[in-house]
Structure formats: C-alpha cells, structure tokens
Amino acid sequence: MSSYEARFKVWRGDAEGGGLEDFAVEVNDGEVVLDIVHRLQATQAPDLAVRWNCKAGKCGSCSAEVNGRPRLLCMTRMSVFRRDETITVTPLRAFPVIRDLVTDVGFNYTKARQVPAFVPPEGVAAGEYRMMQEDVDRSQEFRKCIECFLCQDVCHVVRDHEENKPAFAGPRFLMRVAELDMHPLDAAEEAGLDRKRTAQDEHGLGYCNITKCCTEVCPEGIRITDNALIPLKERAADRKYDPLVWLGNRIRRR
Ligand code: SF4
Ligand code: SF4
Ligand code: FES
C-alpha cells in the first residue's frame, strides 16, 4: 500500500465569517475525500465540523465543494487528483454556513413542503393502482434522488442570487413537480390543481434556462434537465398555447 502527503485547504468558520486553513495530511490507496476529512479530525482539527452518515453515496449528507465543484465527499476518490495538487474543500455555496463544512439546507425542506403531494384517483383502492411499465420506469429514475442538494447548490439561478430563492424551487423540486405531473394516476387536475401552472407561477420553472449544470453534478446520474425539466416546460407551454385552454380561460374571465 502506498501513501503520500497531500496539501489541503479547508474552509473553517461560521455564519459570522471564516477562511481557508492549510493542512498537510496523509493519503492512502483507495481513500476518498471524506477519509481525509476524518483523518484531519483525528489528528489535527478535532473540532472540524462535517456532516456525513452512510459513507456509501446513499444518504446525501456529505455534500460539499471540492475544488469549487459540488460533490459528495464520500464518493470523491483521492485518485482523481494529482498528488502535487492542493485540494480545496469548502461548504455548499448556495446555503448559509452553520460551521466549517456544514450548511443549513432548510431552504430545500421549505421548497419540498410547497409541492402538493400525489392526489390519489377516486374510486380506485390502494393496492389496485395499475399503470404501464414505461410510466413506472419514467418516474423510477426520479425516485433515485438521495436529496444531496448538489443540483440545488450548483444552479446559477440561486447559487449567487439569494433574491431568487423565494420564487424558485430549484431543479430537485421542479423534478418532483414533473414526476407528479407525468404520473398517470395523479388526480390533481380533477381536484382543481394545475401542476403545470403552479410549476410556472409558484415554483419558478421559467427561471430555468436548461444549462444542464444540475444534471452534471447529480451523483445518481438522474437526467434532471432532459427527462424532467424540459418535458415539464414543453407541457406547460402546450397548456398555455392550447387554443381550447385559451378559449376556456377567456370564457371563464367573462
Ligand atoms: S438546467 Fe435549469 S435547474 Fe438545472 S442548473 Fe440549469 S438553470 Fe438550474
Ligand atoms: S436530483 Fe441528484 S443532485 Fe439533485 S438532490 Fe437528487 S440526487 Fe442530489
Ligand atoms: S456520507 Fe452518505 S452520501 Fe456521503
């Protein structure tokens, strides 16, 4: 087993402010960045705050930025970096820092609560739902989400624009709206809830200009933009320019 000493810069501080601190730390074969952060805690910085849980890329809690790119610390192998490179580890930029590498991701929970849940179809008992396998497969992709919020962090709409947060749900939750809107058994419309309209008016779908940055950082490989956001935009536009819907709206307004 070979080992070497790597140079790290780790952000330390809290809501009041902070800065990068330099460390030289041992790295062994097969290690990931989270191993190095744990070694720092064990040997040089016992009070270094980091959030983690599964160390298997499944709980979504070790999200941070490595060399400025949103990543899971437990899934970022040290072998992807050159040995002479200085590696910078900083907290997620789009959310307020609590301490060191730990941020307050409450924004995401607020947005999650604003998306109305699946509306069960009337007259069909639970356990009797039937749908085509291709519809199951389509929403199954979105169900792989581990809620790491890396996509929320990278999206330029909120990354440096705190002022956009009230009006924009972010890719993770627009994807949730898309998932429910394409669900063949969701009875939202019958219950008077137009998910396409709320995507535009309440969740800020129009802010997304399909740059695909969210897709690029998703550790689950979910094609957020191509499979959720673009189809949702298309359906929202179809709805807006559908002549029957236009006529219905005109009649209702009279
Ligand atoms: S595709 Fe849309 S949601 Fe995704 S990062 Fe770009 S602007 Fe944000
Ligand atoms: S969609 Fe991907 S990047 Fe976004 S929260 Fe879910 S797993 Fe993380
Ligand atoms: S510790 Fe669970 S995803 Fe990294």
Looking at residue 140, its pLDDT comes to 95
- What does the alpha-carbon distance between residue 175 and residue 125 come to, in Å, rounded to a whole number? 27
Structure tokens at 157: 């709409």
Using the atom order of ligand 3, give the atom closest to the CA of residue 54. 2
249 lines ligand 1 (CB under 6 A): no
154, 172, 175, 210: which to mutate for ligand 1, most atoms within 8 A of CB?
210
By the 8 A CB rule, do 92 and 65 touch? yes
Looking at residue 246, its pLDDT comes to 60
Q: What is the DSSP letter of 16?
A: T
pLDDT tens-digit profile, the chain (254 residues): 789 999 999 999 999 999 999 999 999 999 999 999 999 999 999 999 999 999 999 999 999 999 999 999 999 999 999 999 999 999 999 999 999 999 999 999 999 999 999 999 999 998 899 999 999 999 999 999 999 999 999 999 999 999 999 999 999 999 999 999 999 999 999 999 999 999 999 999 999 999 999 999 999 999 999 999 999 999 998 876 666 666 665 665 55
110: number of Cβ within 10 Å = 12
Find the helix or strand (DSSP H, E) in which 27 lies.
strand 17-28
Looking at residue 126, its pLDDT comes to 84
Looking at residue 249, its pLDDT comes to 58
Q: Which residues pair with 87 in a beta bridge?
A: 8
List the one residue out of 195, 67, 94 whose CA is nearest residue 149: 94
By the 8 A CB rule, do 152 and 103 touch? no
The one-letter amino acid at 144: K
Residue minimizing CA distance to atom 2 of ligand 1 = 208
74 lines ligand 3 (CB under 6 A): yes
| Strand-pair category, 3-14 with 86-90 | parallel
- What does the alpha-carbon distance between residue 93 and residue 100 come to, in Å, rounded to a whole number? 12
CA dihedral 82, 69, 102, 178 (to 10 degrees): -140
- What does the alpha-carbon distance between residue 104 and residue 109 come to, in Å, rounded to a whole number? 10
- What does the alpha-carbon distance between residue 123 and residue 129 come to, in Å, rounded to a whole number? 10
170 lines ligand 3 (CB under 6 A): no
Centre of ligand 1 from the C-alpha of residue 248, in Å: 32
By the 8 A CB rule, do 75 and 57 touch? yes
Q: Say which residue the tokens 């929403």 belong to.
A: 139
pTM of the model: 0.93
12: number of Cβ within 10 Å = 17
By the 8 A CB rule, do 49 and 99 touch? yes
Is residue 63 classed as helix, strand or coil in its secondary structure?
Answer: strand
Is residue 87 classed as helix, strand or coil in its secondary structure?
Answer: strand
Residue minimizing CA distance to atom 3 of ligand 2 = 218
Task: Give strand ranges (E) for the chain.
Answer: 3-14, 17-28, 63-66, 69-72, 86-90, 97-99, 102-103
Centre of ligand 3 from the C-alpha of residue 229, in Å: 26
Query: Which positions ≥6 away from 206 have C-beta within 8 Å?
Result: 200
Query: Which residues sit with their C-beta closer than 6 Å to ligand 2?
Result: 145-151, 172, 217-220, 222, 224
74, 102, 145: which to mutate for ligand 3, most atoms within 8 A of CB?
74
Ordered by where they begin, the domains of the chain are: 3-103 (3.10.20.30), 106-253 (1.10.1060.10)
What are the backbone dihedrals phi and psi of residue 83, each rounded to the nearest 5 degrees, phi first? -70, -25
